Structure 1
Amino acid sequence: MKNYSLFKISGLMACVFFLLSCSAEDGAIGPQGPQGEPGATGPQGEQGLQGEQGPAGVDGQNGQDGTDGEDGTANIIFSEWMRADWNDVDTAQLKTMHVPITEISSDELRRRTLVYMYLGQFGSNSRYPMPGKGRWSNTWYSFSFGSTTPGFEGIIIRLESTNGVDLTEFQYSGDRGNIFRYILIPESAQAGKLNYSDYEAVKAFYNLPD
């Protein structure tokens, strides 16, 4: 019985010794197992919808263009063309006529205003500055202004013969085309470089009507 047990123990120890003496290199490496299938990727979240752009606002109504103003005359005062009317002195060789001025005072007329007179005559479309002889060789047209005679304030136009010969109706008559026009230019509207003896230049500069 003891011999059987000893034999049994000796055999067991031999097996243990054999197992311990074996290394990992001794046995063949088994084949690699198949790779597992990758896990399924989860679905990507949907992108949110962009909000719609609102409609453009309606353009406001354009304002109406303002009416162009009329060309100004720089605050000057001017008369219409006046036919000769010798209502003061009316002789064969001397004639005068009064032209009242009501737009400004006599003091302002004398002290702060340029006063110009122009003459139109029979048989000519020209406009002559005064004082001057006009288109004739023996006449002199002139004027004065302000308080020139008692009880009158304005402009006095004067026509006289310069050679002692009686004036003809072509030289003095309103019916024959003798006409006058005054232009009063206050200080604020005076132009130093303007040739006031040239009626057409004055007319254009101040935009005067015919």
Structure 2
Amino acid sequence: MRKQFKILALLVIVTSIFSCRGDNGIDGKDGLDGQPGANGQPGANGNANVIISAWKTSTNAKDTVIDASSMKIATVAAPELKPGLVGNAAIYVYLDFGGGAYPLPYVSNAGGRVNTINFFPAKYKIRPTRFPHDNGATISLPEFIKFRYIIIPSGTGSKNAGQVDYSDYASVKKFYNLKD
């Protein structure tokens, strides 16, 4: 009886070893990977928060002095330029006087004198300025000059931001698909 018990115990142990392989079992081979899927549609540029104005004319051009420089200053309405954006956004302004669009600052020889048209932002407006380099009498800032601004709030990124050169209006126009 004792011998039968030993054989039975040995049989239980051997059966247990072979029936409970766990992680020590034999793995099958991996199958071949399937074919890659088609590429998805391109995503948006990520420009949802970028503000681009229509072409606008300036109003209220007047003479002023800023930092001891005589200049003309005007106003372009920019209702999107809320107080929190002034100083917290990249702002690009372009002008068009009928000969093409140019980024500000723009240096010209209007009236035979070197002068610069530039701007500064203020809440709810862009303030175009024109000052002569000789600090003489101011040069007009006519209302037929059109301005367009682009406001990019801080933290607004674009996966394609490196593809646009903001100093080249043609690049900006293409990137943002602008119609003039």
TM-score, scaled relative to structure 1: 0.50
Distance 1:179 1:104, change over 3 A: closer
Q: Report matched runs for 1:81-92 at 5 Å.
A: 81-87=55-61, 89-90=62-63
Deviations 1:146-189 (A, max 9, x none): 4xxxxx553221111112444555xx212xx3221111123134
Match of 1:105 in 2: 82
Give the alignment's Cα RMSD to 1 decimal: 3.0
Q: Which has the larger radius of gyration?
A: 1
Residue 143 of structure 1 pairs with residue 119 of structure 2: yes
- SS of residue in 2 equivalent to 1:110: coil
Match of 1:203 in 2: 173
> Which sections of structure 2, spanning at least 5 residues, go unmatched?
1-43, 65-69
Match of 2:151 in 1: 184
Distance 1:203 1:134, change over 3 A: farther
Deviation at 1:73, TM superposition (A): 8.9
Q: Report matched runs for 1:49-198 at 5 Å.
A: 74-75=47-48, 76-87=50-61, 89-90=62-63, 94-111=71-88, 113-121=89-97, 124-134=98-108, 136=110, 138-146=114-122, 152-169=123-140, 172-174=141-143, 177-186=144-153, 187-189=156-158, 191-198=161-168
In the alignment, the residues of structure 1 paired with residue 79 and residue 168 of structure 2 have an alpha-carbon distance, to the nearest angstrom, of: 26
In the alignment, the residues of structure 1 paired with residue 86 and residue 178 of structure 2 have an alpha-carbon distance, to the nearest angstrom, of: 20
Deviation at 1:140, TM superposition (A): 0.8
Report sequence identity in percent.
28
Higher strand fraction: Structure 1 or Structure 2?
2
Deviations 1:80-107 (A, max 9, x none): 22223234x336x521123343325322
TM-score, scaled relative to structure 2: 0.57
Deviation at 1:141, TM superposition (A): 1.0
Deviation at 1:72, TM superposition (A): 8.3
Deviations 1:115-168 (A, max 9, x none): 0001112xx52211101214645111111124xxxxx55322111111244455
Q: Is the 8 A contact 2:93 2:149 kept in 1?
A: yes
In the alignment, the residues of structure 1 paired with residue 103 and residue 169 of structure 2 have an alpha-carbon distance, to the nearest angstrom, of: 7
In the alignment, the residues of structure 1 paired with residue 100 and residue 136 of structure 2 have an alpha-carbon distance, to the nearest angstrom, of: 25
User: What count of residue pairs does the alignment treat as equivalent?
Assistant: 127
> Which sections of structure 1, spanning at least 5 residues, go unmatched?
1-70, 147-151
